[in-house]
């Protein structure tokens, strides 16, 4: 997936009017299926998921706000942000005063159209630039929304790339904001790029689960089906969001649970200079689906990975969050950097030394120089990444600390190496029957 | 209880000659009963309590030390500090040399009379200003102590203000030093004020146990009856001591056990600026009854709260610890500040989110704006203490971390708010069936 | 054992050609037996110990490298470092080019002869100064090694000084390098001095096990017999190495396991100024037998104690590591300082207060002044090390924290005293039936 392919997908996806349930979501999955073959899951409207009820589907055909003077104030045809998501049908004449509670704008960004929703209480409304709102003359207005709320289904898409272990890594993003770029399409597009990359890996130690859902209610529906499975199997997870924009670095939000392997891998890559990444503490006050994955009943080791973070750029949740702001190049860079994190996770877990009573005899396995002199130790057998002594050091420290309690990421940090540089050492020790992967404690 | 009422009680209590067992203690409880209706508990002399034996009652009628020249050196009538507490009867003429081992003074404070006791080994003695001691001429002296040690009982007083939970908070102080102010009467008087305040609270989440005992042996006798009960039920406790004097701040001595809810509440109030309070580490080397409550066999979450701390002011354990030094106003201030700590404890404990799988749907409970826009989130439903967004933040963070392991005090600190400001949020979440109080882990 | 006795032993031991199995090792044990009566243990060649196989014995009678021109290049008669340890027999004429892979030198130290081994792969070689190697003319050379590898046995020596408790402290060192001083004989000689010192202690709380083995394979053989026993009984252990040389301080390498009593004792002695000692983190990358004792299958609380550390001085593993570099005086000093560490361990363990409900009544045991005044508390009963108040403080804090989880070393640090100063207090509390030693948690 080169930049051109990504941009082409973006241009087809951007105009669709997505919401949390309905045709917009399904059509988007269908387009993405070309590069990310997710299986569509169905959850009927009205289904109880934990404390929530799956809402009806929203059908929106058209919407328009027109003045008595014939002037068109807002139009769904021009931008699907113009109508509040999940607006019920309306066809009424109102005075400006009656209309005001149904109008939304951003005084601080007078030229931008905000993104507003009302999923769980019946309402309707229009969004428009504050400059337009302020210039509206006192007159009567015709509010017309041609929409429908029908019993249908909520959908999410799921795909699995199997690995050697049944332990899983979850990669998820969301689709539900209509014409937004960084805070909508950047996530699914990077997710697709990662799928294409991982599909080609010659070996996957873990099984990778890809998930694309409407935010919040979609991840809850997914958890109602897969939550227990994940509680038993999940090694790590990342929610992908806001992966474009001008920020030079990735930004990682830690899981609620402390001391996860995921956190240790990110810390290892950051502290050894292998990856530029800002680290945020967990908070339930803002964010994406990691808030659901990390809720206390699940407490999964799922973090969130972003680049130009929601709430930290002026275009957040309004019409200025477009392709120009997001950019295509940052998406490719995000995919590459997240792939590095996944490579770190692949070898950063908790292993167990199967020959733990004393140091195993490395010499007969060709892992230690047969002549023991300072010189030969410095030139011990190595791979193309680590020189001889570094290779031997990695062998010794992995064997010493692989007791099922210390992750290889932690061990690598103790050695001052990015954990990704230990990949070949770990592979070799696995082949020799000296190490085996375990679930973290 | 205003300042006048407190001072009047003080003036009636100060002259009584209290000791660890006997009439002085019982009369003091009787006077305090007007504002602090404690039930008197009886432990017969000779009872074994753990490693100790309850001593006999001490009856002291009079005591006098007179020179051959007719000069009166020390007199119980003038101050009950003049005779060593638990002095046995004596009626002897002695030379100055023979007398010296029975005389106690403070060279560094030549005008002060020290406070000295000999509870557990039969002895007698007089306390006098060092200036007087130094001027004694070589002659014979008549030492006369009209006292008695009789089989009787040791007493302590106990009262309970019930709350919604059977989990308890212990408030204790001691009575046993005769005419001392800061290091004797300040504690019981503040205890009485707190009783009056808590009695009027519209709601008490916890059950409050009030205790007044002779120091050390009294708390041991109490523990021999209630120790196991407290080990199962005690959420927190405070030993009240030295609550008057010039210090501008309260001073909190931590329990021996680390990480208690009590410590977290104090830390929260201190770090958010809600309460000025110095914090001392636990030590068994000095202090009051918290040394018994925190002994390793009980290890209760009981701290000590003081203002002008024993050992840190020159009047400690001598006649300069009087009403003028102590002051009445500091007692009222201490009572108010400790009430704030108790309000913090009331909502600072460990709660459990009863809807822990994903974020509960707040909207249908009126806890989340039904229209989701930046503007409405900022103005979410609130109370009179927290503005809209703060209220919502408090809801979200309480739900996220209330897993029975994190106290609300810890959660409030993470939010940067005094825990007392979360009271209404916690009440609301309890009403909604979303939170329930648990014993700390 | 004074300096003269130590030097005399050194001079007899230095010339012997020790290796990991054979006569050199046994003769050395025999000489040391005069001061360190170790029982010789036998492990037949070919025995499997964990992942290793015990190698054959190496018999070396002579070895010589001579040029066609008659010039003698290297000779076992001159230094037993001249032949690679475990060289197989050889009697061949070779060109200089053919010979080169069998020659070992140190370019950075052109006058020193390196120490080289090839235990586990059959090989032969000569070690010589780089200056000699560089001056060798192109000609044919006669390589002659009169050696044999025979089925025999591996040996190690073990002795026990029993103490009151069956819990053990392990003191170990190694013998296997031929004519090296700091990195060979310093350890066994200090071990012998410690044996002589501890033998004379009037009381040993712990049982002391002394061990002398060929490095690595010897400690593995020992562990294969005693590993499980030590896992149940070992309180602490020290591997003695490199205890001479110019360094002014001891250097302690922590065990792999964190928070051991050993680490707390060292930290206590260091932080209170009682012992100058550098502290190194655990690493499996270099070191001595602690690498085996701390392997994850055993994870014993064994540290390593050194003075002038291997790898940190130029003479390491070559002929410059001689008596002059090592010195005799530093060995005596090391023995004294390690004895202090052992005295710290003797009283630094985890005790349990047997009267944990409240403070025990100290007065009736003569541990608290019967008259309670500021003055008498300052002069409470004491020993010759702690003044009165310090003695009482030590009593109180030991009773408060001795719950089986806090070591006396930790408690002493809280008090700001070297733990060795608490010896008499702990002894007294044991006599009073108030404290009893426990295994650490």
Residue B185: DSSP 8-state: I
Region C67-75 average pLDDT: 96
Confidence of residue A375 (pLDDT cuts 50, 70, 90): low
B406: nearest CA in chain A?
Answer: A296
Closest CA to C287 of C254, C257, C330, C261: C254
Does residue B371 or residue B186 have the better pLDDT? B186
**Chain position carrying tokens 């019981």:** B188
C296-314 pLDDT, tens per residue? 999 999 999 999 999 999 9
Confidence of residue C385 (pLDDT cuts 50, 70, 90): low
Q: Which of residues 154-193 of C touch A (CB under 8 A)?
A: none
Residues of A in contact with B393 (CB under 8 A): 285
| Distance between CA atoms of residues A277 and A251, nearest Å | 5
The phi and psi torsions of B178 (rounded to 5 degrees) equal -65, -110
Q: What is the per-residue pLDDT for C238?
A: 98
pLDDT tops 80 at residue A370: no
Q: What is the per-residue pLDDT for A372?
A: 73
Q: Which of residues 50-79 of C touch A (CB under 8 A)?
A: 50-53
Q: What is the per-residue pLDDT for A160?
A: 98
Confidence of residue B383 (pLDDT cuts 50, 70, 90): low
Instruction: Give the three-state DSSP class for A326.
Output: helix
Task: With beta carbons less than 8 A apart as the criterion, state whether A293 and A259 touch.
Answer: no
Region A165-186 average pLDDT: 97
Percent of chain A with pLDDT over 70: 97
A82-118 pLDDT, tens per residue? 999 999 999 999 999 999 999 999 999 999 999 999 9
Residues of A in contact with C295 (CB under 8 A): 356-359, 399-400
Region A201-218 average pLDDT: 97
Cβ-proximal residues to B196 (8 Å cutoff; 6+ apart), any chain: B1, B35
Q: Are A358 and C119 inside 8 Å of each other by CB?
A: no
B148-174 pLDDT, tens per residue? 999 999 999 999 999 999 999 999 999
B259-285 pLDDT, tens per residue? 999 999 999 999 999 999 999 999 999
- Min Cα distance B297 → chain C (Å) is 4
Q: Which two tokens stand for residue A294?
A: 């990390």
Does residue C288 or residue C380 have the better pLDDT? C288
B392: nearest CA in chain A?
Answer: A285
Confidence of residue B31 (pLDDT cuts 50, 70, 90): very high
Does residue C267 or residue C363 have the better pLDDT? C267
Region B226-245 average pLDDT: 98
A116-130 pLDDT, tens per residue? 999 999 999 999 999
- Helix (H) / strand (E) containing B173: strand B168-174
Closest CA to C327 of C299, C312, C307: C307
Q: What is the per-residue pLDDT for A384?
A: 60
Task: With beta carbons less than 8 A apart as the criterion, state whether B253 and B322 touch.
Answer: no
C117: nearest CA in chain A?
Answer: A372
Q: What is the per-residue pLDDT for B380?
A: 63
Cβ-nearest to A317 among B353, B360, B374 = B374
A227: nearest CA in chain B?
Answer: B357
Work out the mean pLDDT of chain A and round it to a whole number.
95
A9-35 pLDDT, tens per residue? 999 999 999 999 999 999 999 999 999
| Distance between CA atoms of residues B156 and A222, nearest Å | 61
Going A380 to A382 to A387 to A392, the CA torsion angle's sign is: negative
pLDDT tops 70 at residue A379: no
- Min Cα distance C251 → chain A (Å) is 21
C209-223 pLDDT, tens per residue? 999 999 999 999 999
Q: What is the per-residue pLDDT for B368?
A: 85
Work out the mean pLDDT of chain C and round it to a whole number.
95
pLDDT tops 80 at residue B381: no
Q: What is the per-residue pLDDT for A440?
A: 86
Confidence of residue B82 (pLDDT cuts 50, 70, 90): very high
Check CB contact of B104 with chain C, cutoff 8 Å. Answer: yes
Residues of B in contact with A88 (CB under 8 A): none
pLDDT tops 70 at residue C376: no
Q: Are A400 and C296 inside 8 Å of each other by CB?
A: yes
C133-151 pLDDT, tens per residue? 999 999 999 999 999 999 9
- pTM over the 0.90 mark: yes
């Amino acid at each position: 997936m080169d930049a051109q392919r990504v941009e082409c997908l973006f241009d087809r996806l951007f105009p669709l009017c997505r919401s949390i349930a309905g045709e917009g979501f399904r059509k988007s999955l269908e387009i993405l299926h070309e590069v990310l073959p997710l299986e569509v899951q169905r959850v009927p409207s009205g289904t109880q998921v934990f404390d929530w009820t799956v809402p009806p589907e929203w059908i929106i055909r058209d919407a328009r706000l027109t003045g008595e003077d014939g002037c068109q104030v807002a139009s769904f045809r021009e931008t699907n942000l113009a109508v509040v998501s999940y607006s019920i049908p309306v066809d009424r004449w109102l005075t400006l005063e009656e209309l005001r509670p149904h109008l939304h704008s951003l005084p601080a960004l007078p030229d931008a159209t905000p993104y507003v929703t009302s999923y769980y209480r019946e309402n309707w409304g229009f969004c428009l630039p504050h400059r337009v709102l302020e210039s509206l003359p006192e007159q009567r207005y015709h509010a017309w929304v041609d929409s429908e709320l029908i019993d249908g289904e909520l959908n999410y898409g799921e795909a699995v790339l199997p690995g050697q272990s049944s332990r899983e890594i979850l990669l998820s993003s969301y689709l539900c904001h209509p014409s937004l770029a960084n805070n909508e399409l950047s996530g699914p597009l990077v997710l697709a790029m990662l799928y294409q990359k991982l599909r080609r890996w010659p070996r996957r130690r873990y099984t990778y689960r890809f998930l694309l859902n409407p935010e919040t209610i979609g991840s809850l529906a997914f958890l109602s089906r897969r939550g227990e499975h994940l509680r038993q199997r999940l090694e790590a997870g990342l929610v992908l969001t806001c992966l474009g924009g001008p920020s030079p670095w990735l930004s990682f939000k830690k899981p609620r649970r402390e001391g996860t392997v995921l956190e240790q891998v990110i810390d290892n890559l950051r502290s050894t200079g292998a990856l530029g990444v800002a680290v945020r503490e967990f908070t339930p006050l803002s964010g994406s689906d990691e808030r659901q994955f990390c809720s206390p009943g699940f407490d999964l080791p799922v973090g969130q990975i972003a680049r130009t973070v929601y709430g930290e750029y002026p275009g957040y949740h309004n019409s200025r969050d477009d392709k120009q702001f997001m950019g295509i190049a940052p998406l490719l860079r995000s995919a590459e950097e997240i792939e590095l994190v996944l490579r770190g996770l692949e070898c950063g877990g908790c292993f167990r030394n199967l020959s733990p009573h004393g140091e195993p005899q490395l010499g007969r396995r060709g892992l230690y120089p047969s002549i023991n002199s300072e010189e030969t130790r410095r030139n011990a057998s190595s791979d193309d990444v680590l020189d001889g002594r570094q290779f031997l050091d990695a062998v010794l420290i992995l064997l010493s600390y692989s007791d099922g309690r210390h992750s290889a990421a932690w061990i690598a940090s103790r050695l001052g190496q990015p954990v990704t540089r230990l990949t070949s050492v770990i592979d070799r020790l696995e082949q020799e029957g000296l190490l085996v992967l375990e679930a973290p404690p």
